């Protein structure tokens, strides 16, 4: 099948963005799962190359993204493919990571617990969340069987309330594991309840697709974007009295004013020295979509006489999320190419560079 990289050409809003889309091969019986393992190595490219090369020895698995961060000393890898192949690929990558990464010398800005820190399985097409939970469980069991490695279950795969949130499991990070492991409270779901200083532990789970999305404003004042983020994110902001002091409830905990949207994390950030942005994670785009947060940011920004200047996706986005925004901005249903063009224009995803469909939309990047 001939494939064409789609570059958006802007000639007007309604009918004048012309491009040719690569057509995904829609076979409705095919299952597609994404896995985003995070490795505690962000400086040695040879190690990461060895991990990803080993993953790609599994037929049917495609590498979508490798994001190395030296300051974080962490690399986020995104692979996609049929569930059985993706499971085997991440297990092979885990074997290389456990033999190549030494946590006793690791130091970075990002919270971490192990050489392979977190392994989420994410449904993309024709696969349920329950099936992804089973993949997370099988990954944990195989890690224990093949490598004698310890694995916690989190998110949708969690078996305990206090292990749903990754930060709750990570509390104290790698440095706390020697005290935590060995106790009944911190026994992992799979593998030995014993601290391995070289490899640490891993959290495996199942979750919805997370969309990392930022919106830039025409201001260098981060307090403006931070204020907007506080009004929109699920956690909202702390309640304060007339003196600016936190208001506590009867249990002594700070009270909060909930934000506008569910399943949304957000904060004010700086894109560069002159541009502040609202930086967000959309935890469930079917609950809170790209166009919803964008329109809300524009409304709040207008109250201080500011405007949005660009939208920025970090990593890849599912096709449905883009099509939903396309319908919103186009005003009606249409072909995929028209809806994608409308979404890109409406979300201003073309302002910081070309929006290349084959590189930014999961289904097209995966060639399926």
Structure tokens of 163?
């292990």
Task: Report the alpha-carbon distance of residue 121 to residue 12 in Å, rounded.
Answer: 40
Which one, of 195, 186, 205, 189, lies nearest residue 129 by Cα? 205
Measured between alpha carbons, how far is residue 94 from residues 111, 124, 138, 194, 204 in Å?
Answer: 19, 22, 14, 19, 12
Sign of the four-CA dihedral 158, 160, 165, 166: negative
Q: Which of 7, 26, 110, 306 is catalytic?
A: 110
Looking at the DSSP assignment, which residues form a beta bridge with residue 333? none
| Helix 45-55 × helix 83-100 angle, to 10° | 150
What string of DSSP letters covers 255-314?
PEE--S-SSEEEEEEEEETTEEEEEEEES-TTTS-HHHHHHHHHHHHHTTT--EEEEEEE
CB 155 within 8 A of CB 164: yes
CA-CA distance, 270 to 290, in Å (whole number)? 20
Active site (annotated) includes residue 110: yes
* Residue 222, both tokens: 């981060």
- Token reading at 225: 């974007």
Catalytic residues: 110
């Amino acid at each position: 099948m001939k494939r064409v990289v789609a570059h958006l050409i802007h000639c007007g809003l309604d009918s004048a963005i012309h491009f040719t889309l690569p057509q995904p091969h829609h076979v409705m019986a095919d299952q597609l799962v994404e896995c985003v393992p995070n490795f505690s190595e962000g400086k040695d490219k040879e190690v990461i190359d060895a991990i990803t090369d080993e993953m790609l020895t599994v037929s049917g698995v495609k590498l979508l993204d490798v994001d190395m961060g030296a300051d974080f000393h962490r690399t986020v890898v995104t692979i996609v493919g049929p569930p059985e192949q993706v499971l085997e690929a991440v297990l092979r990558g885990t074997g290389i990571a456990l033999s190549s990464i030494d946590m006793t010398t690791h130091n970075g800005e990002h919270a971490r617990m192990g050489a392979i820190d977190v392994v989420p399985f994410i449904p993309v097409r024709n696969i349920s969340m329950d099936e992804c939970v089973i993949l997370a469980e099988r990954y944990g069991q195989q890690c224990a069987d093949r490598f004698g490695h310890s694995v916690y279950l989190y998110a949708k795969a969690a078996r305990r309330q206090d292990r749903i949130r990754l930060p709750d499991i990570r509390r104290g990070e790698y440095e706390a594991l020697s005290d935590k492991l060995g106790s009944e409270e911190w026994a992992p779901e799979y593998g030995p309840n014993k601290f391995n200083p070289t490899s640490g532990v891993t959290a495996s789970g199942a979750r919805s697709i997370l969309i990392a999305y930022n919106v830039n404003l025409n201001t260098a004042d981060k307090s403006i974007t931070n204020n907007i983020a506080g009004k929109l994110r699920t956690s909202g902001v702390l309640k304060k009295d007339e003196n600016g002091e936190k208001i506590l409830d009867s249990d002594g905990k700070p009270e909060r004013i909930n934000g506008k949207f569910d399943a949304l994390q957000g904060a004010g950030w700086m894109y560069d020295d002159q541009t502040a942005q609202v930086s967000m994670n959309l935890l469930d785009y079917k609950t809170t979509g790209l166009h919803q947060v964008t329109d809300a940011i524009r409304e709040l920004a207008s109250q201080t006489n500011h405007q949005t200047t660009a939208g920025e996706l970090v990593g890849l986005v599912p096709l449905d999320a883009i099509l939903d925004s396309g319908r919103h901005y186009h005003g009606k249903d249409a072909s995929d190419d028209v809806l994608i063009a409308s979404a890109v224009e409406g979300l201003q995803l073309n302002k910081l560079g070309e929006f290349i469909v084959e590189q930014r939309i999961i289904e097209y990047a995966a060639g399926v």
